[in-house]
Amino acid sequence: MGQNLTQKILTSHLVSGNLAEGNEIALKIDQTLTQDATGTMAYLQFEAMNISRVRTECSVSYIDHNTLQTGFENADDHAFLQSAAARFGAYFSRPGNGICHQVHLERFAKPGKTLLGSDSHTPTAGGMGMLAMGAGGLDVAVAMGGGAFYLPNPKVLRIWLTGQLSDWVSAKDIILEILRVLSVKGGVGKIIEYAGPGVQTLTVPQRATITNMGAELGASSSIFPSDEQTLRFLEAQGRAADFIPLSADQDASYDEEIEIDLSLLAPLVAQPHSPDNVLPVTERSALSVNQVAIGSCTNSSYQDLMSVSQILKGKHVHPDVSLVISPGSRQVLSMLANNGALTDLLDSGARLLEASCGPCIGMGQSPVSKGISVRTFNRNFEGRSGTQDASVFLASPEIAAASALTGYLTDPRTLGLPPVVDFPELFRIDDSMILPPGTADTPIRRGPNIQPLPLAPALANTLSLPIILKLGANVTTDDIMPAGAKILPLRSNIPAISEFTFHKIDAHFASKAKTLKQSIIVAGHNYGQGSSREHAALAPMYLGLRVVLARSFARIHRANLINFGILPITFVNEEDLTRMHAGNILHLVNLHQAILTPAPFAITLNNDSDPVWVKHDLSERQAKILLAGGLLNATKASI
């Protein structure tokens, strides 16, 4: 039996474990990336390990999330990250150079390699045949130090693509269709592998749009083969030497398979407030639109923005619509400027933003109160835009541009002939905004907002914990630790940022947690979906959260909880959640033995004689991390 593409890369990077169902495996990581919303913690954690230089083939520190400098905090953190990258041997992509995933695809990603990034959309590089995964910053710091990355051996879901996209249908519609079919939980515990004759019709930027939003499925990663399209992209980036052909064997097997005929797809949108709330745009046409935002790591490539410029050329944005455009990289922006497309965008009435994440993380451009915003982004969680009562629709660049012109949610097929964008023979290459690693004696600059890293206490053997919150399903990391221009500048100051923990759900959570000193949260399915931001574990840990009991967890957040000494456990009988309410006390005894044993164990609700049975699904390694008080303590002890 041959191997599928995923198995080939896993096998070639396997440090320990084996590719059997249920096993935990450890992988060698070739490359890492961090961004400034998560990078300060990652580099503080790397520094705490007392390792002088990174031990990967390539590590890159990007500035792309927090480029609004409304105070000293962001600028100070950028200076810290630049000096830390120089000292520890990483490349540094300066503010304005672009979004980490777009720039990494352009300049660093390599087929067949592994990439670990402190951002949930790191799988974007899977569009180049790379096994790229998001993780918490501490996992990335360990990988930078040469440590392995651990994860449960994933199942592999093959999506077989046939046919070819019709006019006005885009790669965004492919991934929205997959989200409609599988839901935001459909990829949990899986790597999604694309194959079939339809793959050959998709360029690397189109593939990257699809692998980017695989994160919204909950997938560990998504990957395309490395083929003629990959070589074409690398040649145009002046990196043909990085190409290797890579695909699944013809007799490879998969855990699951679905098939999608690209020729049957129509323009789609995801309605508020979930990326899987998908339907054809025709079913919501005539809905008035207040704002259109085009960009993000999902849809800000040269190909995407050239399509938008052709749609807008010679026309003008509807007077009731604010149109903002964020190029994905300085390379994209300079090419648009050189060929005149930028002028077409500006003449249409579009507002040009910096080559950064911007509105996608609530960093400016919040919609009007109760507004309708059409965005080419990847997430439309309630309040993520910065306006709590806004309704965000996710759509392709073509739908977004058409809607900006008409003032209502528009099927782009009504515009006539589609734009035709020629793939560049050579992209404009200028790496002057990427600084190479410096020397090990580079002094590190620390602003006053960078505070010492708090560590978790070792897990107690007996805990009696009040339930501080009872939550439903699909709690996001935005719910736990909001983003936005007010909060993200505090990311290097855990005491300060912890004041905003669960702020949208309970504005008094932080003060309650401090009063209780130790607590537990109970929740429904898919707790912690969304961003990889480890602040959603680190800040609650600082406030005394010791255990989360849920029906199920999102992969990255569960790992972050373990990394910071918070025990994640799940119900054996999911209906037991209905027995629990805020203020109840849960008693957990003999925890050390319980987490070192794979069997379910009983906990007590108040003084009820009917126990609540729970399970942990921890590996022996993860149990020892919790006993040590988190991954940083465990790693320092092993070096």
Distance CA 186, CA 180 (A): 10
pTM over 0.75: yes
Q: State CA 304 to chain mean position distance.
A: 20
Dihedral sign computed on CA atoms, order 223, 227, 228, 233: positive
Q: What is the mean pLDDT of each run of 10 residues along the chain (639 residues)?
A: 95 94 93 94 91 96 88 90 97 97 98 96 97 94 95 96 98 98 94 98 98 95 98 98 97 97 98 95 94 96 97 97 97 97 97 90 86 94 87 97 97 95 96 96 92 88 97 94 83 93 95 97 95 91 97 94 96 96 96 95 94 95 93 74
Structure tokens at 74: 């962001």
Distances in whole angstroms, Cα of residue 612 to Cα of each of 460, 491, 518, 574, 576 = 19, 37, 20, 10, 7
Structure tokens at 226: 């490395």
* Residue carrying the six token digits 């500035």: 63
pLDDT at 638: 64
Structural domains present in the chain:
268-414 (3.30.499.10), 463-638 (3.20.19.10)
Distance CA 352, CA 349 (A): 9
pLDDT at 363: 78
Distance CA 183, CA 176 (A): 10
pLDDT at 430: 96
Around Cβ 28, how many Cβ atoms within 10 Å? Answer: 16
Cis peptide upstream of residue 525 (ω within 30 degrees of 0): no
Question: Closest Cα to residue 294, out of 371, 405, 426?
Answer: 405
DSSP 473: S
pLDDT at 639: 56
3-state SS class at 158: strand
Q: b/e map of 560-596 (b: 16 or more CB within 10 Å)?
A: bbbbbbbbbbbbeeeebbeebeeebebbbeebeebbe
Contact (CB, 8 A) for 526 and 500: no
Q: Which amino acid is at 391?
A: S
